[in-house]
Every structure is written in structure tokens, then in C-alpha cells.
């Protein structure tokens, strides 16, 4: 059996407040594993610690205690090891306003020192796949919200990462745009055999994207874990709703 790509062992994250009191427990002894090539949807209400878990996987923050392992390494401490291995699609597009669409997609490739000609061919290719041919030289302010998010998807895929992390990437878009981008995203992840963590607060989105769904309660801990079963979507939705309602009922 192959080792999991992502592993959390009793991970806790506490944010220290400026006043030194009222520390915020964001993640509470969280443990889970994600296998290579698996797409896991992490579902929970706003403020339940999904994004904190996401930032821990990305190595953007350090756990207070416990162990985060990604491809067998510590994503926070082993900074160099993860060059080009993790691609991130954020909730907002996070495009650099001073770079054109093409230059934004080139960013990761530039950081990875890919030869410019090859990098440009790759970036143009990804923009074309995402329906942005002809917009290569447009600055972000000249693009619609959906187009900007497509550029950020292209930027994440262009570096050919082993792992894709997505933090509510379509939540700021209208339903029609989100639906088409979601379908495109699933196709790209499956086609490129990526391991993906998809954070969302939408039950339908989690059920559509994830091979497996982790439902979080606040502070981030797993309240329900389930595999996608296309034959019993109604039942799965009902269980998720019940678990989410339990959190409201808790004292």
C-alpha cells in the first residue's frame, strides 16, 4: 500500500491574539489521510477552520502541535522541497494587477526557473485550454470575475503540481460560471491525475467534486467522513445536513 500524500496527525492550531488573552483554537487535534490521486472535499460552515487546515497543508502557517506531512515532508519547515509541488487556487483570484493574464500564469514557472520560451508555450497552452485565447495581454482589471478565476486556475495547473489545494475557488462567481468552471476543474484534475483538497461551504459542490467528503465542525475536527455514492445522493445530503445541524444544536 502506498503512503498517503497528505497526512494530519493530532494537529492543533491556536492563533495568539495581540492582547495575549482569548487565544483562538482553530484546529483541534485533527487527524486524516488523503491518498495519491484522491479528490477530497472539505465541507463546513464559515469560520469552522477549513481555511486554517488549508493553510497548514500549503505550509503557509505552522501547527501549534501535531504533525502535518505532505508527500512525506513537513510543508512549513521544508520550504525548498515543495517548490513546484503544490498548486493553489484561492477564493479570490489573487492575480498581480501589474501583470497581464499571460504574465500571471507565467509567475509560478518563472519562480521555478523554467526557460522562458518553454514557460510561455505552457502558459499560452493553459490559457487556451481555459478559453482565454486572445486575452493573454489583458490586465486583470480588464477581465471579468470568471475570466480572472480561470487565469488563477491556469496559474496553478501550469506548474504541474502533484497536489492541488482549492479554497472555495468558485464561491465569488455566479452560479452558471461556477458550474462550468467546476466541471472544467474536475475534468482537469482527473485528466492530470492530481491529488486535490477542495474546501467549500456548499454541500452540492462538495458532493460534485469530492471522491470523499470530510465534514468539519468548529474548531476544525472531522464530524463526518463519507465516500461519494452516486446511487444515494439524497441520503448523503440528508446525513450531511443532519451533521451540520448538530453543530448548531451543540451548547
Q: Which residues bind another protein (CB under 8 A)?
A: 55, 58, 60, 79-80, 82-84, 86-88, 90, 92, 94, 96-99, 107-108, 110-112, 139-142, 159
Give 119 or 240: the residue with its C-beta nearer to another protein: 119
Closest CB 113 distance from another protein, rounded Å:
8
Closest CB 77 distance from another protein, rounded Å:
12
Give 195 or 213: the residue with its C-beta nearer to another protein: 195
Give 80 or 117: the residue with its C-beta nearer to another protein: 80
Closest CB 111 distance from another protein, rounded Å:
4
Contact (Cβ atoms closer than 8 angstroms) between residue 230 and residue 39: no
Cα–Cα distance, 130 to 123 (Å, whole number) = 11
Give 113 or 242: the residue with its C-beta nearer to another protein: 113
Contacts of 134 (CB under 8 A, 6+ apart): none
Angle between helices 145-158 and 175-191 (to 10 degrees): 10
Give me the count of residues in the chain: 251
Closest CB 28 distance from another protein, rounded Å:
23
Cα–Cα distance, 3 to 69 (Å, whole number) = 11
Conformation bin of residue 178: beta by default, left when phi > 0, alpha when psi is -120 to 50: alpha
Amino acid at each position: 500500500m502506498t503512503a498517503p500524500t497528505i497526512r494530519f496527525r493530532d494537529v492543533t492550531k491556536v492563533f495568539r491574539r495581540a492582547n495575549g488573552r482569548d487565544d483562538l483554537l482553530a484546529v483541534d487535534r485533527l487527524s486524516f489521510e488523503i491518498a495519491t490521486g484522491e479528490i477530497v472535499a472539505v465541507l463546513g460552515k464559515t469560520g469552522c477552520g477549513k481555511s486554517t487546515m488549508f493553510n497548514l497543508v500549503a505550509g503557509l502557517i505552522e501547527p501549534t502541535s501535531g504533525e502535518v506531512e505532505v508527500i512525506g515532508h513537513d510543508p512549513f519547515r521544508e520550504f525548498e522541497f515543495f517548490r513546484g509541488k503544490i498548486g493553489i487556487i484561492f477564493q479570490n483570484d489573487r492575480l498581480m494587477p501589474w501583470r497581464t493574464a499571460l504574465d500571471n500564469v507565467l509567475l509560478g514557472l518563472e519562480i521555478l526557473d523554467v526557460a522562458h520560451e518553454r514557460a510561455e508555450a505552457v502558459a499560452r497552452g493553459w490559457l487556451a485550454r481555459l478559453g482565454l485565447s486572445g486575452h493573454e495581454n489583458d490586465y486583470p482589471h480588464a477581465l471579468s470575475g470568471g475570466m480572472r478565476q480561470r487565469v488563477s486556475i491556469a496559474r496553478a495547473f501550469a506548474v504541474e503540481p502533484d497536489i492541488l489545494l482549492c479554497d472555495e475557488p468558485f464561491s465569488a462567481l455566479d452560479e452558471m460560471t461556477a458550474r462550468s468552471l467546476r466541471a472544467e476543474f474536475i475534468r482537469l484534475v482527473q485528466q492530470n491525475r492530481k491529488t486535490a483538497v477542495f474546501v467549500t461551504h456548499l454541500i452540492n459542490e462538495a458532493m460534485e467534486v469530492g471522491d470523499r467528503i470530510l465534514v468539519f465542525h468548529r474548531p476544525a475536527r472531522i464530524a463526518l467522513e463519507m465516500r461519494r455514492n452516486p446511487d444515494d445522493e439524497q441520503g448523503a445530503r440528508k446525513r450531511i445536513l443532519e451533521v451540520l445541524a448538530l453543530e448548531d444544536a451543540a451548547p
